[in-house]
Amino acid sequence: MVLTREANDGRGPADYKVSSGARDHSLVEMKLGSNPSLERNLKNQTGIYERASDATQSVKIIICFSVRDQRRVTEILKRLKLEGDSSIVVVDARIDNKPSGSKA
């Protein structure tokens, strides 16, 4: 397995490219839930990178640091009809909803 950071295959860099052998390539794109271009990127960017990299699949990781981010991402995924899409992982990175490790 080969993990390449900021892999640039001609149409701009994907965040990560994971390869196993000559034919199995996957892209990993990471975005912040607050990113003003998130909706446009989900619609267009990853598909362009997949074609440029001959990727067989991609994963989009969206990191949310607030309730506002989470609501925004949920609305965007609804609008784009991407709710439940297994290639999209939304990470709850809020600190206000988890117990403190030192108090547990």
Choose among 97, 69, 73: nearest CA to 85.
73
| pLDDT above 90 for 84 | yes
pTM for the full predicted model: 0.77
pLDDT of residue 55: 67
* pLDDT tens readout for residues 18-55: 777 777 777 888 899 999 999 998 988 766 656 666 66
Neighbours of 45 (CB within 10 A): 19
pLDDT of residue 25: 74
Pairing of strands 57-64, 2-8: unpaired
pLDDT of residue 78: 97
| pLDDT above 90 for 91 | yes
Neighbours of 54 (CB within 10 A): 10
Question: Could you tell me the residue ranges of all domains in the chain?
Answer: 2-92
51-to-11, 15, 69, 87, 89 alpha-carbon distances in Å: 9, 15, 29, 16, 21
Q: Which residues pair with 26 in a beta bridge?
A: 18, 57
User: In the numeric block, which tokens belong to residue 97?
Assistant: 């909803």
